Chain A
Amino acid sequence: MLGHSIIGSRLSLLGGSILSRQSGIRTCSVPVVAAAFHRQSLHTSRNVASSQQHFIVPQPQFDQPLTKPEEKRPNVMKVIEREAIMRADVDGRSKLFVRRAAPKSRLCAGDVVFVETQNNMSDSASVTSFTGVCIAIYRRGIDTSFILRNVIQKTGVEMRFMAYSPLVKRIEVLQKGEGFRRAKLFYLRENPGKTFQLKALKKMAQSAATAKKH
C-alpha cells in the first residue's frame, strides 16, 4: 500500500467512499471491475471473488509518480497533467512551450519551425518533415499544439501539430521571427507580405538541419 502512488491512493480512497456509500444498498449493481480493483488495492474482505475471473483487473499504467507533489493539497488533475507532460517530454521540448520564459528560449509566433513526424508507431524510420512559420500556439497543457504555415507550390498549407505527441520526433526553431507583435498571426493568411518569401533560406536551413542529424 505504501508503494502506491499518491494518485492511486487518492483514487482508491475515492473508490472506497463509493463502496461504502453503496454498501448500504445491497441490491444496487456495484461496478464490479472497480470493485475488484479496489478490493485488490485496499485488501478489503468484500465477497466478489466469484466474479473475479470474468473481469480484467486494471493495472496501474505507471508504478510510481515521477515526483511527489509539493503542494499540501494537490489538485489531482494538475498533478496528472504535469506528470503526463514530464513523461511526454522526451527531448526537452516542454521548454519551448513555457509561457513566461524569455522569447529566446521559447517558441514564439513568427518563428520558423521545423517539425519531423513519424508516419506510424511501428516504423520509426519513416518520417515526414514540415517547415513553416508558426502562426499560433495553443497552450493547453498536454494538449498543447501549434500551427505552422507555409506556401508550397503557390498554395498556402497550414499544419496543426500536437506538441507532446509521441509521433512528433523533433521540433526545431530554425529562425526567430522579427517584428511580430501579436500572439496569433492569422492576418498572414490575407496579407503575408514577405513572410513566406524566405523559402529558399528555409529550405537551406532544413537541409542543414537534416544534414546535422545524419
Chain B
Amino acid sequence: MKSRLNVIDNSGAIVAECIKVLKNAKWASVGDEIVVSVKKARPISDKTLASQSAAKIRKGDVRRAVIVRTKKEIRRPDGRYVRFDDNACVLLNNQQQPLGSRILGLVSAELRFKNWVKVVSLAPRVV
C-alpha cells in the first residue's frame, strides 16, 4: 500500500502508486494484482492524441496493475531467493491483459507460475 512502483510498459505511465491490494492481504508480491494511481506519465502530444483515440494514460488515472518485480526477496520452491533492485508493475485493462503493447524490462518468473502468460510472453527477459 502506498508504495511507488515503476511502470515498465509503453502505456505512457512512468510511476504509479499502489492504492489497493486485491487479495485480502496487507502486502502484495510478484504476480499479485493491485490498483494503482498514476503519479507520473509521459506527456501526450496532440499528434498522438489525434492518431490514437484509445485511452491514454494521464497523471491521476486509476488503473489495475500486476507486480512484476519486487525489492523484497521472493522465495522460490527450490529454496533460492530472488531480489530485484526496484518495484515494478505493468498496467492492465479490464480483461486483465497488459495495456501497453511492449514491456521494457525483465520480469520475475513467478508470473509464469501465476498464469500471467501474456505479460511473460511480452517481456524481453524472464529471471
Hey, which bits of chain A sit against chain B, CB under 8 A?
117, 152-162, 165, 167, 189
A162 proximity list for chain B (CB < 8 A)? 79-80
CB closest residue in chain B, given A162: B79
Q: Judging by beta carbons under 8 Å apart, are A157 and B124 in contact?
A: no
Assess the A152–B125 pair: CB atoms within 8 A.
yes
B78 touches A167 (CB 8 A): yes
Min distance, Cβ B84 to any Cβ of chain A, angstroms: 6
Answer whether residue B85 sits at the interface, using C-beta atoms and an 8 A cutoff.
Answer: yes
**B86 close to A (CB within 8 Å):** yes
- B78: chain A residues at CB < 8 Å are 117, 165, 167
Whether B80 contacts A157 by the Cβ 8 Å rule is no
Distance from A181 Cβ to chain B, minimum over Cβ atoms (Å): 24
The 7 closest A-B pairs by CB, nearest first: A156-B85, A160-B81, A158-B83, A162-B79, A167-B78, A153-B106, A161-B80
In the complex the two chains form, what is the Cα distance from A189 to B73 in whole Å? 14
Instruction: Give 1 or 0 for each of B67-111: 1 = CB within 8 Å of chain A CB.
Output: 001000100001111111110000000000000000001100000
Task: Give the residues in chain B near A161, CB-CB below 8 Å.
Answer: 80
- Give the docked Cα–Cα distance between A159 and B127 (Å): 10
State whether B106 touches A117 (Cβ < 8 A): no
In the assembled complex, the Cα of A186 lies from the Cα of B78 at a distance in Å of 24
A157 touching B79, Cβ below 8 Å: no
Return chain B residues, CB-CB under 8 Å to A159.
80-83
In whole angstroms, how far apart are the Cα atoms of A156 and B105 in the complex?
Answer: 11
| B124 neighbours in A (Cβ, 8 Å) | 153
B106 lies within 8 A of A152 (CB): yes
In the complex, which residue of chain B has the Cβ closest to the Cβ of A115? B80
Q: Which residues of A sit under 8 angstroms from B82, Cβ to Cβ? A: 157-160
Cα A213 to Cα B80 in complex, Å, equals 24
Across the interface, B80 reaches (CB within 8 A) one of A152, A155, A160, A189, namely A160
Partner of B85, one of A155, A160, A165, A167: A155
- Residues in A neighbouring B106, C-beta threshold 8 A: 152-153, 155, 157
Known: A152-B125, A156-B85. A117 touches B80 (CB 8 A): yes
Q: Please tell me if the beta carbons of A155 and B105 are within 8 angstroms of each other in the complex.
A: yes
**Cα of A157 to Cα of B73 in the assembled complex, Å:** 10
CB distance from B97 to the nearest CB of A (A): 23
Q: Which of A156, A160, A165 contacts B73, CB < 8 Å?
A: A160
Residue in A117, A152, A165 with the greatest tally of chain B CB atoms within 10 Å:
A152
Instruction: List 11 A–B pairs whose Cβ atoms lie within 8 Å, in order of A's numbering.
Output: A153-B125, A155-B86, A155-B106, A157-B82, A158-B84, A159-B80, A160-B73, A160-B80, A160-B83, A162-B80, A189-B85
- Complex Cα spacing A154 to B127, Å: 13
Nearest CB on A from B70, distance (A): 12
| A161 to B80 alpha-carbon distance, docked (Å) | 5
Asked if B127 and A152 make an inter-chain contact with CB atoms under 8 angstroms apart, the answer reads: yes
Nearest CB of B to A128, in Å: 9
